[in-house]
Amino acid sequence: MKVDNAIIKVKKHGAKTFWDAVDDLEIMVHETDLGESICGFFYKRGSGRTIAVNSRLSEGKKEFVLAHELGHMIMHSHIKHIHCTKYSIFSNDKMEFEANEFAVKFLWRTNSYYSIEEFCNIHELEPKIIKDMFGGKMDIDSVL
């Protein structure tokens, strides 16, 4: 429910894409070389909010990481800074799981995909991760 409420919050602002959402929520986005292991992070300083994504990632992976970090910003507003690595992005940690679920649902609802397999290929995700996230189901209705 927390994830669905976060998506409703973003949609309430009229956001149809990630870029609409960050514009509406006044979040700065930076693309920079973060090395081999860090995919992205978000931080808050005063009233400013920033998401950074690793420039070394493919466009599809960047899109997923950006949506993941947006999910953290909305759902975990009590945290000032979280970074995700290529190892932690799919950990069993509750906050990471919620950010992943937000990213999947947000991207699925704002783009046109033919299948979950296509979604996974574009964003460089293992289909098993999506299957585990949605109770062993791999159909579109389970994601939405």
Q: Is the pLDDT of residue 92 over 70?
A: no
Distance between alpha carbon 34 and the CA centroid of its chain, in Å? Answer: 17
Q: What is the pTM of this model?
A: 0.83
Which CA distances in Å does 29 have to 12, 23, 43, 67, 90?
21, 10, 11, 11, 22
> Taking 60 as the threshold, does the pLDDT of residue 111 lie above it?
yes
Q: Which residue has the higher pLDDT, 113 or 120?
A: 120
Determine the topology of domain 2-143 in CATH: Arc Repressor Mutant, subunit A (1.10.10)
Q: Identify the pLDDT of residue 60.
A: 92
